[in-house]
Structure 1
Amino acid sequence: MFDISWSVKIGQYRLTMIDSVEIIRSVEKLSDTAVVTLPASCFNKALEVESKIKRSDKVTIELGYNNNLVSEFEGYLDRIATDDGSIRLHCEDALFLLKKQVADKQLVNPDITDILQYILTGTGFSLKCDYSFKYDKYIIKGETAYQVLKKIQEETKANIYLKGNELHVHPQYTQVFGEAVYSFQDNIESSDLEYKNADDRLFEVTVEGKGKDGKVVRETVGQKGGDSVTIKIDGVSDKATLRNLATEQLKVKSYTGYSGSFTGWLIPYCDAGYKIFL
């Protein structure tokens, strides 16, 4: 028999009641997030949280069974929302600390490593990047480090995320941080999975860049006869960069294996970046 256990700390307080906790960790998302939902009242008395906790307070969330707790989220309180008769505490991982404006700068022919090292200067975060993507020119004006990161993630399609105080930037799904074994008979509650062979997933990816002269530079990879996608990006004319982006997107779209999702429990422990065996 397993009884759910939990511990939620915000600032100097440990919560004694919650309605729900939702944590999202994904290598496809820039930051891990959590939403802690509290009842609006207790014993017919309205809960007053704004006077106790504030934005930027440290947040830790542990979950488990039978008092065997595992850390599931560490970050900071981003905002407090009161609606639908409940109180929602929106939290974000340490990338929250990068929501500060950086000095304006224009970088000529930079690789994303040059841009990231610039915005991380003085933040206490180190960089681990094995993804190359060259811009003709990159301009930072009136932006926070977080906004620059988000733009780079959207344009390069790289996996960008934190592990401790290290900012990781990698081609999609190339880093494995652990393994977990699941069985449809033992520890999968529900699933929406489909198994396909790469030969059955014909896909063509075209990436279009535009250089300083306004001319379109185009790179295409994959096979005709199936689905296709075109990605357009300004300020990039390096053909190797465009082909690399197209190739990486093709790997994500056309592969042999499962696609979809399934629902399990807290056992076994599983995290973003884990390899799953079914």
Structure 2
Amino acid sequence: MFVLCSEIKIGSVSFKSVHEVQIKRSIYNLAATAIIKIPVTAVLKHTGEPPAHIETASTIKAGDKVEIRLGYDNSFNTEFVGYVKRLNYKVPLEIECEDEYYMTRYVNCVFSKKETTLKQCLNAILPEIKVASCVDLTLKNFVINNKPGSWILGYLKKEYGLTVFFDINGNLYAGKAHDVKGETVKYRLRYNVVKDDDLKYQLANDVKLKVKAICYYKDGTKIEGEIGEEGGETKTLYYYDVKDAKELKTLAGEELKRYSFDGYRGKIETFLFPFSLPGMVAELDDPVYQERNGTYFIESTEVSFSTSGARRTVELGIKA
């Protein structure tokens, strides 16, 4: 029998039991979030001091560093690293947290150059943050007057179609959704997958999809094009500095094929192990219908942990 275990550090205190933890992260969300619920009075351990009963709300404040480690039988994975965003004075005490995105809320930036590169922009928001991956994009007439970094990241996401998120190590990604391809995690339906009710198998011929393609050039201009069928889902995809409209149409056609595939879409519910994060690849094995086996990009994960059990919900995207 596997015994749940947790290790949570907030500022200078740490504790090994909680009412509940919920963690959400996605390649499509700027911030990964966590909610920790703990007793109003608890046994907390200050660094270098013996454990003591203390009012938890008095020892925790907004901005405190947070690390959440969860697992079974004293075998842990780091599930979240970030900061306390706010305290909700409920019973139990509710602590809202954000990952490295939290820090961008408190950095105001000014851009007044006629042009700047995306990487220069990202480095200006948080100079100490490692930009793990970003597209080669020039931002023309990029004039920002004293806006917080969080606003700028949202602007880049909205106006340029960038997928912007921080990984669990605090590294920043800004680019196309599936350019990141991490480690492979193996799942077997009806074995280490607890629930697959939200998983649906689709045939490429049944998918009605239209792709709207937008390309930004280094001189600040852009071109647009569409390809696909009417009457279904429309996806807007962004490209950067392709050769011409013909190449843009070719790239959009290739992307259309990626989304119109024979395979699974949806979510699976698993235990905490195997460990997975957005950006990783799920290798799905179906022992009943082996012709449906395949590998898929993981787009989001949700972790729930409490005294009644722990689960990870994994959302599958297009085939990897």
Specify the TM-score bucket, using the shorter chain as the normaliser. Answer: 0.7 to 0.9
Out of 51, 56, 62, which is 2:63 matched to? 56
Structure 1 residue 80: deviation in Å?
0.6
**Cα pair 1:8 1:59 within 8 Å, conserved:** yes
The answer to whether structure 1 residue 170 and structure 2 residue 175 are counterparts is yes
Q: How does 1:33-44 map to 2 (within 5 A)?
A: 33-40=33-40
Note the 1:101-180 alignment, pairs <5 A: 101-120=107-126, 123-163=127-167, 164-180=169-185
Aligned to 1:89: 95
Counterpart in the other structure of 2:229? 224
Match of 2:58, SS state, is coil
Give me the identity figure in percent: 24
Change beyond 3 A, Cα 1:199–1:103? same
Counterpart amino acid of 2:6?
W
Partner deviation per Cα, 1:150-198 (whole Å, 9 max, x = no partner): 2212333333223435322231122121111111121111121112233
Aligned to 2:203: 197
AA paired with 2:96?
H
Whole-angstrom CA distance in 2 between matches of 1:271 and 1:241:
36
What is the letter of the counterpart of residue 69 of structure 1?
Answer: F
Structure 2 CA distance for partners of 1:140 and 1:61, relative to 1, 3 Å: same
C-alpha distance in structure 1 between counterparts of 2:27 and 2:172, whole Å: 12
In structure 1, the residue matched to 2:277 is: 271
Amino acid of the structure 2 residue aligned with 1:21: V
Distance in 1, Cα, partners of 2:262 & 2:180:
18
- CA shift, 1:69, in A, is 1.4
**Residue number in structure 1 paired with 2:306:** none
Distance 1:140 1:252, change over 3 A: farther
Distance 2:237 2:66 in 1: 39
Contiguous gaps of at least 5 residues in structure 1? 211-215
Query: Larger % of strand: which?
Result: 2
Instruction: Give me the whole-angstrom Cα distance separating, in 2, the residues matched to 1:37 and 1:72.
Output: 16
Given the superposition, is the C-alpha separation of residues 166 and 208 from structure 1 closer, same or farther in structure 2, using an over 3 Å criterion? closer
How far the C-alpha of 1:59 sits from its partner, in A, is 0.9
Q: CA deviation at 1:68?
A: 1.1
Q: How many residues align?
A: 265
- Structure 2 distance, partners of 1:199, 1:219, is 26
Displacement of 1:64 after TM fit?
Answer: 0.7
Deviations for 1:55-82, whole angstroms, at most 9, x for unmatched residues?
A: 1111111111111112111111111112
Aligned-residue Cα RMSD (Å) equals 3.5
Counterpart AA for 2:15: L
Alpha carbons of 1:60 and 1:217: their partners in 2 closer, same or farther (altered >3 Å)?
closer
- Give the secondary structure class of the aligned counterpart of 1:189: strand
Alignment of 1:209-248 (within 5 A): 219-229=224-234, 247=252
Unaligned runs of 5+ in 2: 43-52, 285-320
SS of the aligned residue for 2:154 comes to helix
Query: How big is the shift at 1:15?
Result: 2.3
- Once residues 65 and 9 of structure 2 are traced to their aligned partners in structure 1, the CA distance between those partners, rounded to angstroms, is 8
- Amino acid across the alignment from 2:181: V
